[in-house]
Amino acid sequence: MIKIEVDDLIKKLENKNVMIVFAPKYNISGIGVELANKLSKRGVVFYFSCIKTCKHLLGTFSQIGAKIENIKIIDGITRTITSTPPKSEGCVYLSAPYKFEEMFIAIKELSREKTLDFFVFDALSTVAIYYGYAVSREIGITVKFVNLLQLINDKCKIIFLSSDDSKDDPLIQEVLTLVDEVVES
C-alpha cells in the first residue's frame, strides 16, 4: 500500500517543488523511509528524522537496498536520549528536533559534500510539538528553511511529512502557505 502511495508522491514531485504529505501518525515514518529509498536512486536525499535514529535508519536503508551514499541524515532525536551519539558517516546530530538554527548549519555542512536534490522532513508534526513549547518561537522559521534549501539548489524538492491530526498547529499552518501541493496519504 505504501509502495503505491510513494510512487504516486514521486510522480507528483516531478512538477512540484515543495510538498506536504499528511498521513496517519504511525505511517509517517514508513512513508518517509520508502520515499528516501526511491529518491536516493534519482539524486541526493537529505533526510531529517526525529522519529527514527540515524543508526536505525542506516540499518533500514541498508536492508531495503537504498543507495546509501546518496542519503545524508540529520538526526534530531539521538542526542535527546544520549549525550554521546555514535559517529556515523553521513549523519549529523542536532541537540533537539526543534533546533532549526542547528539544522541550517547541518544542511550547509552536508551540502558541501553533496549537492542536495531532495529534502525529506520527517516529521513536521513532531517538530511542531516541541517547537510550540519552545519559549523563543520564531515566526517564519520554515520560510527561512525553504529559502536556505532553494538557495543551495533552486531545483531541490522538499517534502514535509506530517501527522494528519496536526493541521491546526501554527508551524504546519505556516508551511501550508509555502507548499505547492498538499497530499493526503
Partner 1 sequence: MKTIMVVDDEKDIRETLRLLLEKNGYKVITAENGEDCIKKLKSVKPDLILLDIMMPGLTTKEILDGIESDKSNRNVKIMFVTVVRLAEAEKDDILKRKNIVGYIEKPFDIDNLLKKIKEVLGDQNRSR
Verify binding: residue 167, partner 1, rule CB under 8 A. Answer: no
CB of 124 to partner 1, least distance (A): 14
Footprint of partner 1 on 41-60 (CB under 8 A): 50-53, 55-56, 58-59
CB of 83 to partner 1, least distance (A): 6
User: Can you say whether the dihedral through the CA atoms of 139, 144, 146, 147 is positive or negative?
Assistant: positive
Verify binding: residue 38, partner 1, rule CB under 8 A. Answer: no
Strand order in the sheet with 45-49: 91-93, 71-75, 45-49, 118-122, 157-163, 18-23, 181-184
Verify binding: residue 81, partner 1, rule CB under 8 A. Answer: yes
Rounded to 10°, the helix 28-39/54-64 angle is 60
Cβ neighbours of residue 34 closer than 8 Å, sequence gap 6 or more: 2, 3, 6, 64
Taking CB under 8 A as the criterion, the residue among 26, 87, 113, 154 binding partner 1 is 26
Footprint of partner 1 on 100-159 (CB under 8 A): 126, 129-130, 132-133
Verify binding: residue 176, partner 1, rule CB under 8 A. Answer: no
Cα 183 to Cα 74: distance, rounded to the nearest angstrom: 24
Verify binding: residue 68, partner 1, rule CB under 8 A. Answer: no
Cα 4 to Cα 17: distance, rounded to the nearest angstrom: 20
Interface ranges with partner 1 (CB under 8 A): 25-26, 29, 50-53, 55-56, 58-59, 77-83, 96, 126, 129-130, 132-133
